[in-house]
Structure 1
Amino acid sequence: TQPIIVTTTTAPQQGGSGSGQQGGNGSGSGQQGGAQDLKEVLNSKVSKWGDANGDGGVDMGDVVLIMQSLANPNKYSLKDAGAFNADVSEAGGGITANDALTIQKYLLGSVTKLPESYAENIKTVTAPATTTRATTTTAKPTTTTKATTKAPSQASGQKFSVKNGQNQFKGDSDGYSYEIWLDQTGGSGSMTLGNGGTFDTEWSAQVSKGNFLARRGMDFDRTKKATDVGKITLDYAADYSASSQGNSRLCVYGWMTDPLVEYYIIEDWVNWCPQPQGGSKTVTIDGAQYEIFTLDHYGPTILDNQSRNFKQYFSVRKSKRTSGSITVSDHFKAWADAGWNIGNLTEVALNVEGWESSGKANVSKLTIDVSGGGQGGNTQQGGNTQQGGNTQQGGAQVQAGKKLCAISFDDGASAQSTSDPGYRIINALAENNMTATFFNVGSWIKTEQQIKYEYQKGMEVANHTQTHPHLGQLGSGQVRSEWEQCNSKLKSIIGAEPSHLMRLPYLESNGTVQSALYDVPLISCAIDTKDWNNASTNDIVNTIKQAAQNGSLEGAIVLCHENYATTAAAMEQVLPWLAQNGYQNVNISDMAKAHGKTLAGGQVHTRA
């Protein structure tokens, strides 16, 4: 699968400078003396120059994200930290296509250090504004213990303000995600983070269709149904009030996917609360009565910036309150018992929302406890539960203390006999107590037995489309069909759900591909062994060894193909060497889980 390198010499400017936000730490003007002082401030806000996607490395994934954010900022917004990291050409001047070009030059070696340059007159140190609520937070989920067991960070005191075109801030701190959002119809609002999950918020959106929200919570990686995550308990206390104009609510809020559902557990409200349009049911949870019902809705979603039809699930407390303990998982169970379809959990958050109103809330307590089923995204001890939801048979566990990499193999199933390269690679992995992801092309499968064998050996059986086309040349429906046909074929062979991951043919993607596969993590690579381009066995081995020695191999997705004898011979040599040097090769999903990372659907991933 030959990669395509994106190049450009144009320099469109992304948005404006927002509200003078300094990396999300205040709403002042960002002025701090002269250019040299601001240069130091800018450096202090960068975690790693060039790391736009926040995965800890610098690779083509960062280039792709920058270009996506410029082409469609409503859908592909950079987080504040990523925007600072990515501003490597004339740093301090904002994100342009030149930043993507500079990173490419850095990867090719023509630029030796990032940033390549600083702006001549740095006037503000601001992160580009995000422009839409309908995006997905991909913050690292916390572990299954109470989030408040985390040590307090510098989050306390961070203030975010929305108005005058700056309508959203999102991120995570102290183990909790946060979001403040204001509809662009007008108004203003602010949110100040406290320790743990606490926060203060106030808003004034007393305009036509004015809508405001502020929330904090815990993110999940969408790999488990809400009813399978385990027991989820949310404890909170809030001093909450709103104006007599418009309406407002205090609630637990989140989304599910497959099927797509927006859900609310409403604890208190002012003036108006959603009412059932059909039947409803009364249930008792935590000793209180809740009315549960569903509504059909059309509007923006967490998937992208397109409006869609979806369901809303409601639990409305009959006796309003502003503090207490909510067993959130019992609401999921009550909805399931009512016959409603339960999707994969994305978020549990305490939400303050106002419509055409003004108000304020001081959330002085917020803790979320998850126990039992295990929260998606935690460090995986067993090493065999896949991101796509299937549990492989056999296979090696992720070993504590090992450096992890994910050499993965495309274009299966290619073998016709057990002496062919595909089987040799599987056996070399198993003999070295390792696993890998095998990306299979549905119409190229020569024997089903090889797919069954890799599955039995604990390898991750994954999707490489049905016919290996140039996806960027296809329409949305054709792109989706390519994934679905291959997924169905793999499922029929192994008798279980295959991995949800898909390797991009030719490593090509565009907005149509990402929208059509909004729920599918799209896999590219950080390291290409070029076995597809006649690399010798020694070339392949040396590429991997050099990456291990310079530190770029850890966490990297490595591109190989299973149908070359040179690749099989290289694996027979390099896998024992990796084991001797403290590495374990694992499949991509297990590596992401071990690193506490979420492989988001509709996004291109080069590391995990």
Structure 2
Amino acid sequence: MNFLSCLLVFLATAAAAAVSDLLKHDARSGTASISGTNFGYYYTFSAEDGDAVTYTNLDDSDYSIQWKENSGYFIGGKGWNPGSAESVFSTPQVFIASPDGTSSSSIYGWSTDPLVEYRIVESLASAIDPVLGLTLQGTVNSDGSVYNIYKSQRVNATSIMGTSTFSQYWSIRQSARTNGFVTIANHFNAWATVGMPLGELGYQIVATEGHGGSGSVEVYIGSKPAGPPTQLTSGRVQCVAEYGQCGGQGYTGATCCVTDTTCVVSNQFFSHCMA
């Protein structure tokens, strides 16, 4: 996971040295130093150098991370366990990126049966090569941008099921951003269409990943899924059609919109899907 660099564990072979940092760090995602619940949200955090990176749970869904120069790889964030296909709103309220662009943000999670590690990458560290070690599967247009869809594989790497061989799914946004709605179901559906289905969802977080450098971030996560996660049927999720209701006070239906549309808030009682 070239956020890729994020998820791969360090491989001691010369071949591994040629793989992007993101890919090398991917495997570490399953070996969090700390995890648990806070204000009802699941959180997890892992760092190569615990003395250089500080993860802090704030009120409600907020969290912050501060990291020092040459801190090495880390990943942390808050979300849900299990995850879902519901839309998520994320706002890094305070963001001071390192000059060399060594931090990334994404929706990050796992599924089992099949065992998959996935990322919907909203902002990719400039130091990361998102192509090395990945296979392009197609694209999906969602939330105002085209995302490139990639697939890769980890062999005998750390996962939520222990040391395993598993697939990695990627949606990498072409026009990077640091906040906004992420219509997760659009990506789940697009992945299924190109033969990349998910199984039972494990944990899912709005993640910050660092690849060195220094900086800080404070993140607010909104639109917490209500009730059980959306059920997947053959890897697909039923989303709301254009102009249909997708949110509002007292609304209990689906909150994801079909591809090329976004859930737009009209008032506190009504939100609808618009292109």
Normalized against structure 2, the TM-score is what?
A: 0.65
5 Å matches for 1:486-565?
none
Provide the C-alpha distance between the structure 1 equivalents of 2:216 and 2:152, rounded to a whole number of angstroms: 28
The 3-state SS of whatever aligns with 1:346 is strand
The 3-state SS of whatever aligns with 2:30 is coil
Residues 236, 367 of structure 1: 8 Å contact kept: yes
Q: What percentage of residue pairs aligned between the two structures are identical?
A: 30
Provide the C-alpha distance between the structure 1 equivalents of 2:214 and 2:100, rounded to a whole number of angstroms: 8
* Residues 307-343 of structure 1: per-residue CA shift (max 9 Å, x gap): x322110011111111101111221111001111322
The reply to whether residue 310 of structure 1 matches residue 166 of structure 2 is yes
* Residues 272-301 of structure 1: per-residue CA shift (max 9 Å, x gap): 242263333121112321111111224211
Residues 188, 197 of structure 2: 8 Å contact kept: no
Residues 252, 349 of structure 1: 8 Å contact kept: yes
Provide the C-alpha distance between the structure 2 equivalents of 1:275 and 1:311, rounded to a whole number of angstroms: 16
5 Å matches for 1:78-89?
none
Provide the C-alpha distance between the structure 2 equivalents of 1:287 and 1:356, rounded to a whole number of angstroms: 29
Provide the C-alpha distance between the structure 2 equivalents of 1:205 and 1:187, rounded to a whole number of angstroms: 11
Inter-CA distance 317–134: structure 2 relative to 1 (3 Å threshold): closer
Provide the C-alpha distance between the structure 1 equivalents of 2:29 and 2:169, rounded to a whole number of angstroms: 20
More helix by share: 1
5 Å matches for 1:198-347?
198-204=62-68, 206=70, 210-220=72-82, 231-238=85-92, 239-245=94-100, 247-271=102-126, 272-275=128-131, 277-298=134-155, 299-304=157-162, 306=163, 308-347=164-203
Residues 261, 310 of structure 1: 8 Å contact kept: yes
The reply to whether residue 171 of structure 1 matches residue 36 of structure 2 is yes
Q: Is the radius of gyration larger for structure 1 or structure 2?
A: 1
Residues 187, 206 of structure 1: 8 Å contact kept: no
Provide the C-alpha distance between the structure 2 equivalents of 1:286 and 1:133, rounded to a whole number of angstroms: 26
Q: CA deviation at 1:356?
A: 2.8
Return structure 1 stretches of 4+ with deviation > 6 angstroms: none
Provide the C-alpha distance between the structure 1 equivalents of 2:113 and 2:229, rounded to a whole number of angstroms: 18
5 Å matches for 1:140-155?
none
Normalized against structure 1, the TM-score is what?
A: 0.31
Q: CA deviation at 1:246?
A: 7.5
Inter-CA distance 293–242: structure 2 relative to 1 (3 Å threshold): same
Q: CA deviation at 1:262?
A: 0.6
Inter-CA distance 316–216: structure 2 relative to 1 (3 Å threshold): same
Provide the C-alpha distance between the structure 2 equivalents of 1:324 and 1:201, rounded to a whole number of angstroms: 19
Provide the C-alpha distance between the structure 2 equivalents of 1:338 and 1:205, rounded to a whole number of angstroms: 40
The reply to whether residue 134 of structure 1 matches residue 17 of structure 2 is no
Tell me which residue corresponds to 1:180.
45
Provide the C-alpha distance between the structure 2 equivalents of 1:133 and 1:267, rounded to a whole number of angstroms: 18
Provide the C-alpha distance between the structure 1 equivalents of 2:226 and 2:36, rounded to a whole number of angstroms: 24
Residues 215, 349 of structure 1: 8 Å contact kept: yes
* Residues 374-421 of structure 1: per-residue CA shift (max 9 Å, x gap): 328xxxxxxxxxxxxxxxxxxxxxxxxxxxxxxxxxxxxxxxxxxxxx
Q: CA deviation at 1:256?
A: 0.7
Tell me the C-alpha RMSD between the 2 structures.
Answer: 2.5
Tell me which residue corresponds to 2:23.
none
Q: CA deviation at 1:371?
A: 5.6
Provide the C-alpha distance between the structure 2 equivalents of 1:370 and 1:181, rounded to a whole number of angstroms: 25
* Residues 558-608 of structure 1: per-residue CA shift (max 9 Å, x gap): xxxxxxxxxxxxxxxxxxxxxxxxxxxxxxxxxxxxxxxxxxxxxxxxxxx
The 3-state SS of whatever aligns with 2:61 is coil
Provide the C-alpha distance between the structure 2 equivalents of 1:241 and 1:274, rounded to a whole number of angstroms: 22
Provide the C-alpha distance between the structure 2 equivalents of 1:194 and 1:344, rounded to a whole number of angstroms: 29
2:212 to 356, 360, 368: 356
1:194 to 39, 47, 58: 58
* Residues 37-63 of structure 1: per-residue CA shift (max 9 Å, x gap): xxxxxxxxxxxxxxxxxxxxxxxxxxx
Count residues with an aligned counterpart.
199
Q: CA deviation at 1:355?
A: 1.7
Tell me which residue corresponds to 2:24.
none
* Residues 484-524 of structure 1: per-residue CA shift (max 9 Å, x gap): xxxxxxxxxxxxxxxxxxxxxxxxxxxxxxxxxxxxxxxxx
The 3-state SS of whatever aligns with 1:256 is strand
- Unpaired runs of 5+ residues, structure 1, are 1-131, 136-166, 221-225, 377-608
Aligned-partner residue type, residue 284 of structure 1: N
Inter-CA distance 297–263: structure 2 relative to 1 (3 Å threshold): same
Q: Which structure ranks higher in relative contact order (CA pairs < 8 Å, sequence separation ≥ 6)?
A: 2
Provide the C-alpha distance between the structure 1 equivalents of 2:129 and 2:62, rounded to a whole number of angstroms: 25
Q: CA deviation at 1:133?
A: 6.1
